[in-house]
């Protein structure tokens, strides 16, 4: 029989919390939290994405925001039961604020709140038209000159951006811009997505030809329209491109392909952007109230500068420009870098009969895909998880409920187990000279991703080629210079080369703001991504959340969106609600707007 005791504990606590909050008794509410507590709020109390760490920060936030927020109706979420294990009681919860409905998650330790997640599900009076409220589609009855769905859609496409201005412009129509566009469409926020490539999905199609998603299908669903049950575990890049193209069409997004944003500027007086775009060779000026840069966190290429690049006679390009191996058969290639792209490209070159050398300057974290799937992701994102009733929405929220400050503590045991399981594999790689790491604090891949967005390879086969010498390796060295036909390394080695690929990663997304808006605005918003963990490439101070992503920035009406498919799906919900609230004139006082500690 189901043990209902945890339900009693959670309900009692929620009742007490609800009463204290309703009465404005901040101290009584704070008393319900553990000393080492974390309250992560996605937009409900703070109109921000923010984690309050410890009682003092909870107290400060409540003092500033409680009166405005007016939270009520705290209870265990409908249809859910609390559970208890290892001294922790946890539960899905629901609540309301003055303007929104919220859903969340709570963990209790010794009868007090240890972690609390509060997220905005919908704005009251502005709910998405679903279920009983879905559109009729057909218009029954008779009417002269009535318009069909197709005619209405064509009229919208013809008007928007010309005779009628969009409320929001999203620059970048990769999966990030598309997912956000879909959410805004459902919320009836007039939006145009600007994309310089011709077709939705091209940003994947144009990547090197061997690329398949590194994350499994359960992690990759888009909002509203999950992949079918026969979709491959690791989607090939052109297949995901086709899915995005189909999705853009059926979700009725206003997607301007073959359109490049040339310039954008904000008028602080009229609170309006002027966005100059080149559409099919013609200039169009858009005047949205909100501007979202969804231009890709893995898109602003870091191209190194080495002496002699200008005299090198072979082909040389950044990994993002690499066309694939076909024309390099029987030639010699040098790939600079040792992370995901470098490995994928080296393996594809080797398969095509190219003599390839990888140049590794510093350590890389490697994790075998199978191990990552089984030990890292399976409990939330896997077929087993689906079979045991886990939904994508719940998996995303459980993940979101783990505060960043202590997330590494949950990750370290996972990567220790992976190290043990794959000890032989790691030994062979080291024997081949490969320089390994497991993250500065051994917390592995996901923390590296959140902190610096780089520094790892999810092994789908290339590591074996490195270990057995098929892919040649020069490690612990840097490039000194290029000659007409070779790469000279810092240890004096000369590597003859017909092709040099710079798999040297990507820069901060505020670089896009510098290109399209101004250096001043780029510096005003500062670095995008990272947590301030004071680990390699993620300088402190601690910021508690990812810098500038999906939340207000220091530049009014400028937003950054993106990340992997999981983040893009999950956080597009909260970004779309922030935009919708602004469009509807709902007050959105931002609590704890981040300070800028780094420029880029």
Ligand X SMILES: Cc1cc2nc3c(=O)[nH]c(=O)nc-3n(C[C@H](O)[C@H](O)[C@H](O)COP(=O)(O)OP(=O)(O)OC[C@H]3O[C@@H](n4cnc5c(N)ncnc54)[C@H](O)[C@@H]3O)c2cc1C
Binding site for ligand X (CB under 6 A): 171-177, 194-197, 203, 207, 211, 213-215, 260-261, 294-296, 298-299, 340-341, 516, 562, 564-565
Residue 341 Cβ vs ligand X, minimum distance, rounded to whole Å: 5
Shorter beta-carbon distance to ligand X: residue 173 or 314? 173
468 CB-side CA count, 13 A: 7
Cα–Cα distances in angstroms (integers) from residue 524 to residues 131, 228, 264, in the given order:
43, 43, 15
Count Cβ neighbours within 10 Å for each residue of 233-252 and write b for 16 or more, e otherwise: ebbebebbbbbbbebbeebe
Shorter beta-carbon distance to ligand X: residue 361 or 566? 566
Residue 284 Cβ vs ligand X, minimum distance, rounded to whole Å: 12
Rg of the Cα atoms in the chain: 25
Shorter beta-carbon distance to ligand X: residue 294 or 487? 294
Task: In whole angstroms, give the CA distance from residue 272 to residue 576.
Answer: 18
Shorter beta-carbon distance to ligand X: residue 300 or 331? 300
Task: Give the rounded distance of the alpha carbon of 598 from its chain centre.
Answer: 20
Task: In whole angstroms, give the CA distance from residue 410 to residue 438.
Answer: 14
Shorter beta-carbon distance to ligand X: residue 294 or 335? 294
Shorter beta-carbon distance to ligand X: residue 118 or 578? 578
Contact criterion met (CB below 8 Å) for 118 and 39: yes
Shorter beta-carbon distance to ligand X: residue 415 or 550? 550
Shorter beta-carbon distance to ligand X: residue 513 or 581? 513
- Taking every pair of Cα atoms in the chain, the longest distance, rounded to a whole number of angstroms, is 83
Shorter beta-carbon distance to ligand X: residue 14 or 179? 179
Residue 514 Cβ vs ligand X, minimum distance, rounded to whole Å: 12
Task: In whole angstroms, give the CA distance from residue 289 to residue 14.
Answer: 39
Cα–Cα distances in angstroms (integers) from residue 576 to residues 188, 199, 271, 581, in the given order:
10, 23, 19, 9
Residue 548 Cβ vs ligand X, minimum distance, rounded to whole Å: 14
**DSSP element (H, E) containing 149:** helix 149-159
Phi-psi region of 505 (alpha: psi -120 to 50; beta: other; left: phi over 0): left
Residue 98 Cβ vs ligand X, minimum distance, rounded to whole Å: 33
Residue 381 Cβ vs ligand X, minimum distance, rounded to whole Å: 12
As a whole number of Å, the end-to-end CA separation of the chain is 56
- Token code pair at residue 267: 């008028």
Residue 67 Cβ vs ligand X, minimum distance, rounded to whole Å: 37
Residue 277 Cβ vs ligand X, minimum distance, rounded to whole Å: 7
Residue 213 Cβ vs ligand X, minimum distance, rounded to whole Å: 4
Smallest Cα–Cα separation from 92: which of 103, 84, 100, 108?
Answer: 103
Give the alpha-carbon dihedral of 494, 495, 501, 502, to 10 degrees.
-30
Residue 333 Cβ vs ligand X, minimum distance, rounded to whole Å: 17
Shorter beta-carbon distance to ligand X: residue 174 or 552? 174
Shorter beta-carbon distance to ligand X: residue 74 or 457? 457
Count Cβ neighbours within 10 Å for each residue of 406-439 and write b for 16 or more, e otherwise: ebbeebbebbeebbeebeebbebbeebebeebbb
Residue 568 Cβ vs ligand X, minimum distance, rounded to whole Å: 6
Residue partners of 353: CB distance under 8 A and separation at least 6: 329, 330
Residue 253 Cβ vs ligand X, minimum distance, rounded to whole Å: 13
Shorter beta-carbon distance to ligand X: residue 204 or 404? 204
Strands (E) located in 232-271: 255-256, 259-267
Beta bridge partners of 116: 39, 106
DSSP assignment of 110-141: TTEEEEEEEEEEEETT-----GGG----S--S
Cα–Cα distances in angstroms (integers) from residue 299 to residues 206, 346, 511, 512, in the given order:
12, 20, 10, 10
């Amino acid at each position: 029989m189901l043990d209902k005791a945890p339900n009693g504990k959670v309900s009692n606590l929620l009742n007490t919390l609800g009463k204290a909050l309703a009465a404005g008794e901040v101290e009584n509410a704070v008393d319900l939290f553990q000393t080492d507590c974390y309250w992560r709020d996605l937009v409900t109390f703070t109109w921000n994405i923010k984690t309050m760490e410890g009682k003092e920060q909870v107290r400060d936030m409540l003092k500033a925001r409680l009166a405005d927020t007016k939270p009520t109706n705290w209870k265990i979420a409908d249809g859910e039961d609390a559970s208890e294990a290892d001294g922790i009681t946890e539960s899905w919860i629901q609540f309301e604020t003055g303007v929104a409905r919220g859903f969340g998650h709570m963990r209790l330790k010794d009868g007090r709140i240890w972690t609390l997640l509060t997220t905005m599900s919908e704005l009251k009076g502005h709910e998405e038209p679903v279920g009983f409220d879905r559109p009729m589609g057909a218009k029954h009855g008779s009417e002269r000159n009535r318009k069909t769905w197709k005619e209405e859609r064509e009229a919208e496409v013809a008007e928007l951006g010309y005779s009628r201005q969009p409320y929001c412009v999203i620059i970048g129509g990769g999966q990030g811009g598309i997912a956000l566009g879909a959410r805004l469409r459902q919320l009836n926020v007039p939006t145009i997505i600007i994309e310089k490539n011709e077709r939705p999905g091209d940003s994947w199609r144009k990547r090197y030809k061997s690329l398949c998603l590194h994350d499994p299908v359960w992690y990759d669903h888009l909002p509203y329209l999950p992949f079918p049950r026969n979709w491959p575990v690791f989607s090939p890049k052109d297949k995901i491109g086709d899915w995005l193209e189909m999705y853009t069409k059926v979700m009725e997004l206003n997607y301007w392909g073959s359109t490049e944003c040339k310039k954008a500027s904000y008028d602080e007086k009229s609170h309006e952007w002027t966005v100059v775009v080149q559409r099919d060779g013609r200039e169009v000026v858009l005047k949205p109230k909100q501007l979202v840069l969804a231009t890709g966190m893995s898109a602003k290429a870091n191209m190194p500068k080495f002496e002699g690049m200008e005299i090198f006679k072979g082909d040389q390009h950044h990994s993002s420009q690499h066309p694939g191996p076909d024309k390099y058969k029987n030639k010699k290639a040098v790939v600079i870098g040792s992370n995901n792209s470098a490995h994928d490209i080296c393996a594809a070159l080797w398969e095509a009969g190219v003599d390839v050398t990888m140049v590794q300057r510093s350590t890389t974290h490697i994790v075998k895909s199978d191990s990552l799937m089984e030990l890292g992701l399976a409990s939330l994102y896997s077929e087993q998880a689906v079979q045991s009733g886990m939904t994508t929405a719940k998996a995303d929220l459980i993940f979101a409920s783990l505060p960043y400050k202590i997330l590494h503590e949950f990750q370290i045991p996972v990567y220790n187990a992976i190290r043990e399981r794959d000890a032989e594999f790691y030994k062979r790689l080291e024997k081949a000279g490969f320089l390994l790491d497991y993250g500065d604090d051994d917390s592995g891949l996901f923390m590296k991703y959140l902190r610096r967005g780089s520094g790892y390879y999810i092994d789908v086969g290339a590591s074996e080629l490195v270990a057995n010498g098929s892919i040649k390796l020069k490690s612990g060295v840097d490039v000194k210079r290029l000659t007409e036909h070779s790469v000279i390394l810092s240890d004096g080695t000369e590597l003859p080369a017909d092709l040099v690929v710079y798999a040297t990663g990507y820069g901060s997304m505020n670089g896009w703001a510098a290109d399209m808006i101004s250096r001043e605005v780029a510096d005003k918003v500062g670095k995008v991504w990272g947590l301030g963990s004071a680990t390699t490439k993620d300088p402190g101070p601690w910021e508690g959340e990812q810098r500038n992503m999906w939340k207000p920035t220091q530049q009014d009406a400028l937003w950054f969106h993106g990340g992997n498919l999981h983040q893009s799906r999950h956080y597009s919900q909260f970004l779309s609600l922030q935009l919708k609230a602004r469009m509807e004139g709902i007050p959105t006082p931002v609590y704890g707007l981040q300070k800028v500690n780094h420029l880029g």
